[in-house]
Structure 1
Amino acid sequence: MTSDRRPGRPRSETARRAILSAAMEELQQHGYAALTVEGIAARAGVGKQTIYRWWPSKADVVLDSLLDLAAERITVPDEGSLPADLVAFLTETFEQRGQRPVLIGLMAQALLDPVFATAFRDRFLFGRRAALREILDRAIARGEIAPDVDPELLIDVVYGVLWYRLLLDHAPLDAAAGRQLASLVVRAVR
């Protein structure tokens, strides 16, 4: 009988959580450029070999941490209407501005490392797009979006605003901006 289990000790959920938490704390304290696997390991109280056994790079540790955080903090609301769903989703999303160093660091890494870029796109960016697509699909089913509107373009517009403001830091990325963008999208789809 063959087993799907990898050789070695099984992954400890306690150690995994400590590592992911330590990665975020180190990142917030020192920034992405100064983040090291050694620093994460020291803060988490594990050996760096434990981290490398589970993740190929610091970017992959941070990505997993970000995915856990997004799943915990940003829900896909179902308030019964497109305006209410968008306001709830975008204000929650935009209120995560404290994650700016994380997102900018991961985007920079994705630009430099094509292998990581694929993981970042597939695991994080496409996941966030799927969440917004779920909201738009429900609105389409309720007849709140005109049939000639391209939902993929709407998703690009929403995340384009988020990433542009996040990367350039030229305008607020907060709950008020989330409400304004929601209002703009609702007007555009009618």
Structure 2
Amino acid sequence: MLDAAMSELQEHGYAALTMQGIAATAGVGKQTIYRWWPSKADVVLDGLVELADKRITVPDTGSLPGDLTAFLAATFKERGQRPVLIGLMAEALLDPAFARAFRDRFLFSRRAALRGILDRAAERGEIAAGTDPELLMDIVYGVLWYRLMLDHAPLDEATGRDLTGLLIRAVS
């Protein structure tokens, strides 16, 4: 059913996505979808979490520049998920209960992945003492969300390399 939801989403966009459409694509009744998920946002969130877990691995190259470059390349490669992410963020702004689920299940899991990279780098002495890892994560995800929301500049591997360079200079 998650594959059906993601397929429908890619074809029609978040605004046009319906539980009926998901059910039809999955070949099940709409009641089956509602048995597992209370809303289309919840279905999409599960699909997005599954997709991120599959496609965005946490590298361990042995260096902060290598790890950040690989992680950001994998993250930014998923820029095709922009309609999904924008739709879920809009839903989160309108629905406080969904906002908590989106934050806890997706946003915080992505931050935890980056936090692991930063913690390993700190243990290796690659990050100056006193550097705030939360602020570093805000910088990374701030760039990601700002560019996703406004679509004013590229979000690609070159952006990931440039962002890695800025962060390495900032933490040295």
TM-score band, normalised by shorter chain: over 0.9
Residue 38 of structure 2 corresponds to residue 56 of structure 1? yes
Identity of aligned pairs, percent? 77
Residue 178 of structure 1 and its aligned partner are, at CA, apart by 0.8
Pairwise CA RMSD: 0.5
**1:13 is matched with which residue?**
none
Count of matched residue pairs: 172
1:31 to 13, 21, 26: 13
**Between structures 1 and 2, the one with greater helix share:** 2
What's the CA shift string for 1:137-162, capped at 9, x where partnerless? 00000000000210000000000000
1:79 aligns with 2:61: yes
Instruction: In structure 2, give the amino acid aligned to 1:90.
Output: L
Mapped partners of 1:184, 1:109: distance in 2: 32
Q: C-alpha displacement at 1:29, in angstroms? A: 1.1
Instruction: Identify the residue that residue 48 of structure 2 maps to in structure 1.
Output: 66
Q: Is structure 2 residue 111 aligned with structure 1 residue 129?
A: yes
User: TM-score, normalised to structure 2's length?
Assistant: 0.99
1:57-112 per-position Cα deviation (integer Å, ceiling 9, x unaligned): 10000000000100000000000000000000001000101100000000000000
Distance 1:177 1:48 in 2: 41
Amino acid at match of 1:64: D
Q: Where in structure 1 do 4 or more consecutive aligned residues deviate above 2 Å? A: none
* TM-score (normalised: structure 1): 0.90
Aligned residue for 2:87? 105
Equivalents in 1 of 2:31, 2:164: separation in Å?
Answer: 45
Give, in whole Å, the separation in 1 of the partners of 2:117 and 2:44.
Answer: 27
Gaps of 5+ in 1: 1-18
Is the radius of gyration larger for structure 1 or structure 2? 1
Structure-1 separation of matches of 2:158 and 2:152: 15
Letter in 1 for 2:45: L
Structure 2 unaligned regions, length at least 5 = none
- Which residue of the partner structure matches residue 8 of structure 1? none
Offset at residue 164 of structure 1 (A):
0.1
